[in-house]
Amino acid sequence: MRRGRQAARAAGLIGAVALLGVVLLLSIAVGAKAMPLGDVWSGLLHRDAAEYAVVHRMRLPRTLLGLIAGAALGVAGAVMQALTRNPLADPGLLGINAGASAAVATAAAFLGVTAIGGYVWFALLGAAVVTALVYAVGGGRGATPARLALAGAALNATLYSYVSAVMLLDTASLERLRFWTVGSLASADSATVTRVLPFILVGLLVALGAARPLNALALGDDAARALGARPALIRAAVIVAVTLLCGAATAACGPIVFVGLLVPHLVRALTGPDLRWLLPYCAVLAPVLLLGADVLGRVLGRPGELQVGMVTAVLGGPLFLWLVTRGRVAHP
Amino acid sequence: MTVIRTPGGLSLRFRPRALVVGAGAALLAAGLGLVAVGSGDYPMSAADVLRTLTGGGNPAEQFIVGELRLPRLVTALLVGAALALAGTVFQSLVRNPLGSPDVLGFTQGASTGALVVVVLGGGSLALAGAALAGGLGTGLLIYALAWRRGVHGYRLILVGIGVAAILTGVNGYLLTRAPLMDAARAVLWLTGSLDGRGWANAGPLLAVSAVLAPLLLIGCAPALRMMELGDDTASALGVPVRRLRLMLLAAAVLLVSFAAAAAGPVSFVALVAPHVAKRLTRAPGPNLVPSMTVGAALLVGADLLAQRAFTGHQLPVGVVTGVIGGGYLVWLLAMERRAGRL
């Protein structure tokens, strides 16, 4: 029985990876100039093919950014939900991405930082501050999902009003930031990808490493200690991981909401609550959602495109509403 | 609590402290307004302003006060009072100090309406109308989604947060669709600004407030206080809970939407003013009248600060209320946390 379930989960993970492969190819193939799959292959592999420039300069960095940002947001959402024991924990809803945005807006408008290399440090700083704040507010004994979500929404409102005030004072920042604040993969280039990749990799490794002790922590601090876990250390590690993942993803593609909420909920239906399976599934399926939303935005928005942040908001919002109106969320 | 009884059997109960706070805030608003009308590129003394207001003064002063500065002041007073009243009603209905229209999606809905007009092109009248329609439409949507044998506090909050998050994404998208100059105008509107507001802006809000404020203050305030005891107790005391809640929500959404149509969605007045009023009056229950006067004083003061704080550089009033509100919010979260309520 037990072995059968493990095998099913492993097979499911392989299926998810295959799905991810299809979406990756689609993301390279669909765009202003649609390519048949044969051209995608030759554009990827042959330096002298006609599609080489389009694929390597634009489509490939965009796809890779979607891959790592999606994985980052999905895993961050899953570990936040585990850590705060809160089904509504999402880096976007709780204001962590907005904190990174506010820091980036400050850097862009007042300190003259314009490149991704500078953005990323400020985004990490902003994400760290809000993560700590959210945890301080939401980690308490009396914290209920609804109250934490409300505190996060209030933080979001504050930070967004700050960002729009910054854009208002400086038209140059408005021009740059208004595309970035929706959440978009369109500006991706290989420099962006290589800049944020190390942060996201470290964040993913820390989160995956924390999966087993987080499982123990779900039983309560005392039981976790009895099982050999160290609650304070685990919490600190998870906060660091969430900061790295959300800060880097936001610096690269702007604040994206609902990916971190949607994916863990869908995946939990497949794997159950065990984080050792949940996190890898999230890391694979969250990019499927993000890149799928990006491709959808490119198809629906022709001849331009819809930003991926808007597509995820419109797709993920109804799920959130379903979760809260079905009464799946504990009331205070 | 003080009670006055007349020989005819009528009685009036009031709290002296609430009365003092309400009147004090109203006086403060009037004083700040006097300073606001008197200051600017053409400075006037308080005596000059009063003389011009009562019909004296030369034609230039008549024009400056009557057509330029007074409409702005009246708009500020009305928007502040309307937002504070709506915020008090929301916070009381959802029984949470954070339940303000900024958090619950109504503000974002009004912004969506306005941004659609900015993208499609349209004048300031169309913008105000669309903001109104957006706010009311969002109110209806949230109510419909949260309805299940009546609308209860936390479901309303959570549905509001979800709708707000969706609309934030839509708003960001709309902002990227506008040409840069229009986008700058849109951001100015989204922040909330009183620049160039005339009687045409103040008029509709004045009319709506003149109907809704007495309705809420006289008609609903006692029942609202009983509803804070809980739905069951309120029902037992004869309050038609479901119908009253719908009516209160509708009134609050109307006030917020008309205020947004007049000055844009000025952030956090609806959140902060009721708290300040409650701290000053130390009275339980919704302090509707003190909240209104505190809200009016808050917005007039913020506007004065926004105009005069940086010489040569006028800020929109929403920046000032945003900074005040953000700081207050962090403090509030910390206090709630310490008190174990969050």
The CA radius of gyration of chain B, in Å to the nearest whole number, is: 20
HSE, CB side, 13 Å, CA atoms: give it for residue A148. Answer: 33
Question: What's the number of domains chain A is made of?
Answer: 1
Which chain A residues are within 8 Å of B319, Cβ to Cβ?
165, 168-169
Q: In this structure, is residue B124 part of a structural domain?
A: yes
Q: Over 50: is that where the pLDDT of B15 sits?
A: yes
Say which DSSP state B13 is in: E
Structural domain includes residue A176: yes
Tell me: pLDDT of A330 over 50: no
Q: Chain A contacts of B115, Cβ < 8 Å? A: none
Q: Is B145 in Cβ contact with A174 (below 8 Å)?
A: no
For residue A332, tell me if it sits in a domain: no
The enclosing domain of A316 has a CATH number of 1.10.3470.10
Residue A331 maps to a domain: no
CB contact under 8 A, B173 and A88: no
State the average pLDDT over residues B174-196: 85
Q: Which of A155, A159, A317 sits opposite B165 (nearest CB)?
A: A317
In a domain, B108, yes or no: yes
Residue A129 is assigned to a structural domain of this protein: yes
Chain A residues close to B106, C-beta within 8 Å: none
Residues A10-65: tens digit of each pLDDT: 898 999 999 999 999 888 888 777 777 777 777 777 777 777 777 777 788 999 99
- Residue B5: strand pairing partners: B11
Q: Check residue A86 and give its pLDDT.
A: 77
B176 or A86, greater pLDDT = B176
B141 touches chain A (CB under 8 A): no
| Cβ within 8 Å, pair A142-B98 | no
pLDDT tens for A153-191 read 888 888 888 888 888 777 777 877 788 888 888 878 888
Closest Cβ opposite residue B166 in set A168, A169, A317: A317
Distance CA A228, CA A21 (A): 38
According to the model, what pLDDT value does residue B30 have?
92
Return the percentage of chain A with pLDDT > 90, whole number: 23
**Would you say residue A92 lies in a domain?**
yes
Domain count, chain B: 1
User: What is the percentage of chain B residues whose pLDDT exceeds 70?
Assistant: 97
Asked whether residue A53 is domain-assigned, the answer is yes
Residue B120 has a pLDDT of 86
User: Closest to B267 (Cβ–Cβ): which among A157, A312, A325?
Assistant: A157
Greatest extent of chain B over all pairs of C-alpha atoms, in Å: 69
Q: What is the CATH number of the domain that holds B260?
A: 1.10.3470.10
CB B166 to CB A88 under 8 A? no
Cα separation, B202 vs B76, whole angstroms:
9
Question: In this structure, is residue B8 part of a structural domain?
Answer: no
Q: Answer whether B169 sits within 8 Å of A88, measured CB to CB.
A: no
Q: Does B172 touch chain A (CB under 8 A)?
A: yes
**Residues B278 and B300 sit within 8 Å (Cβ to Cβ):** no
Domain-embedded: residue A23: yes
Distance in Å from the first CA to the final CA of chain B: 31
| pLDDT per residue as tens digits for the range B109-165 | 999 999 999 888 877 788 888 999 999 999 999 888 887 766 677 788 888 888 988
Residue A52 lies in a domain: yes
Does the distance separating the beta carbons of B267 and A313 come in below 8 Å? no
In the numeric block, the tokens 């029902």 are attached to B235
Q: How far apart are CA A293 and CA A182, in angstroms?
A: 14
pLDDT tens per residue, range A256-289:
888 988 899 888 888 888 899 999 999 999 999 9
Question: What range defines the domain where residue A301 resides?
Answer: 2-325
A109 chain-B contacts, CB cut-off 8 A: none
Domain that holds residue B209: 27-33+70-334
